[in-house]
Amino acid sequence: MKDFLPVSKEDMEARGWYYLDYIIVTGDAYVDHPSFGAALIGRLLESRGYRVGIVAQPDWKNTMDFAALGRPRYAFLITAGNLDSMVANYTAGKHKRTEDDYSPGGKAGLRPDRACIVYANRVREAFPDVPVVLGGIEASLRRLAHYDYWDDKVRRSILIDARAPLLVYGMGEQQILEIAERLKKGEAIEELNDIRGTAFVTRDLSGEKNMLFSYKTLPSFQEMAENKLKYAEAFRIQYLNQNPYTGQALVQEHDGGYVVQNPPARPLSEKEMDELYSLPFMRAAHPKYAKQGGVPALQEVEFSITSHRGCFGGCAFCALNFHQGRLIQKRSAESILTEIRQMTKSENFKGIIHDIGGPTANFRNPACRGKRCTERLCLYPEKCNNLQVDHAEYIDLLRKARSIPGVKKVFVRSGVRFDYLMADRKRKEILKELCEHHVSGLLKVAPEHVAAGTLQAMRKPPKQVFTAFRQLFYGVNKSIGKEQYLVPYFIAGHPGTTLKDAVELAEYVRDLGYNPEQVQDFTPTPGSLATCMYYTGIDPLTGKKVYVPKSEKERRMQRALLQYRDPKNHPLVREALRRAGREDLIGYGPKALVRPAKDTAKEKAIQKRKGKGREGKKAFSGVGKRTEGKRNGHRERATGRGKGRK
């Protein structure tokens, strides 16, 4: 009989267990679903015969919760959860978040800042002799020296601050199974220095004992902290060594010792992916959270399917290259269809599959037959000649999914990479299929910006590609008699964006009749190309200087320009337009973004009388013309596992 993994001594006793082999400590609430990393690793170890328990969101102010399940036989496995704890706890403006979707009832404040470090130190207090292994997205993206936006400085490898002997980076299944097997055989944790997809600390680089792979030496932590050119150099070397078929080990000096990153783990085969997602998940939050309203993050993924991992999109603001990687790892169609059939038996299932996808929905197959490309991007600055563009298998999968008894609708919500779709010769037929059967009235796409300089820094396609896609989308919907809309996502304050670029985007939004209630502020997170640009002012892959809007005032102005219709933004919009030399957009004509300051009070009064103020109209009302969308979709924060958007 299926059950949740133990979270208490009582759960252990119910299974007849008096000890555990591994205890997973996570910053998320315990949700037994394959989109949650702790559950995925826990179920995988369980399938190999190991006894696994979960300590979810422990009170980190003492050691009681960390000791609640006793001493594990082999190790504590520590993760901050599906998000970096600083991203989970703070907004792009560095303000404390008031909600946490990965906590019961959405309550904020249940995980500490820098959770991996805090948890590791508490575990060491409780059990000084038990090994600690770090994993998850926080550990993965902070495995080497990195810029930290919240401290506004370069921080050491998380291995140093957590004083952990071993770190797993990437998705981690292969690594954790090898670690478990070798610990079971009696090897010490300090001997496990030859596992791909791991990092460790050593004082000695000499001899085969410590260095079993050929390696490149990075600029030291001290050099990176003192010299931005060195930081950019180090990032470039890391970036070019993420391919599991070509990547070398990397070595970085830290305070007299060395952090060693072994080469990336090989991608999982289709068979391995199928086995992983067929494990006996409860697909639910632990019952102990029921009184608090459950865990909000489950709602988006409970009836969604992860069809693949990896993304070859290469967006500069995304850290996926450093975590899941660029190579596509997919499940078989039959594995996915089997999961859907099981879903239909759930009493909570209403006939709706919310998504079949991954980081990008329509990246279902490998980019090309080659495996050794390191520098060339598949879609930027234009489609690579070797890119295999084919949606046939994905469309066939969607057709089979919607034909399963009990399934009423299958939506595609993880985002469609429109430039990849436009590169397909059958793009019109593909888009017609999606619009007829798999769009819920709104289709999420991410042009992100329209200014050439910004798009270049983002590694996104030119504006003309999105314009062509938009025309095709509305043309297809007209031909099938449907009124559906695009929800385009835009980022404010990205490296490479000047105020003039932000004004250009505001004019584009104006001409679309689009009124974005939510705007994504660029947040520099460890591991992304754009974060390196933000910190150094240099594009590390080209060596060219990049303009960076760093001041809080300018970031606020760029955001305000995107939301220029909001009266409270008008003073900032006017100031931004003056600074950009675009005072022609302050006035009364149809192209004006705002009126002169002296008329704002009168304007508010008129709007209130006409019932056209914010209280009297919806966020997507537009200005006297049809809008791109009639309601605003929630923009997901990247988790590194399961869903994302591109």
Query: Which residue ranges are tagged as binding site for [4Fe-4S] cluster?
Result: 311, 315, 318
Report the relative pairing of strands 52-56 and 153-155 from DSSP bridges: unpaired
3-state secondary structure 563-603: CCCCHHHHHHHHHHHHHCCCHHHECCCCCCCECCHHHHHHH
Q: What is the dihedral of CA 188, 194, 195, 200, to 10 degrees?
A: 70
Helix (H, G, I), strand (E, B) or coil at 245: coil
Strand partners, 261: 199, 250
**C-alpha to C-alpha distances, 110 to 63, 98, 135, 482, 491, nearest whole angstrom:** 15, 11, 19, 45, 29
Asked if 51 and 58 count as a contact pair (C-beta separation under 8 A), the reply is: no
DSSP 53-92: EEEES--TTSSTGGGTT---SSEEEEE--SS-HHHHHB-T
Annotated binding site: 311, 315, 318
Contacts 24+ apart (CB under 8 A), 239-244: 239/321, 239/529, 239/540, 239/541, 240/374, 240/375, 241/216, 241/374, 242/321, 242/322, 242/325, 242/326, 242/374, 243/325, 243/326, 243/327, 243/371, 243/372, 243/373, 243/374, 244/196, 244/325, 244/327
3-state secondary structure 182-223: HHHCCCCHHHCCCCCCEEEEECCCCCCCCCCCCEEECCCHHH
What is the C-alpha to C-alpha distance for residues 636 and 86, in angstroms, rounded to an integer?
16
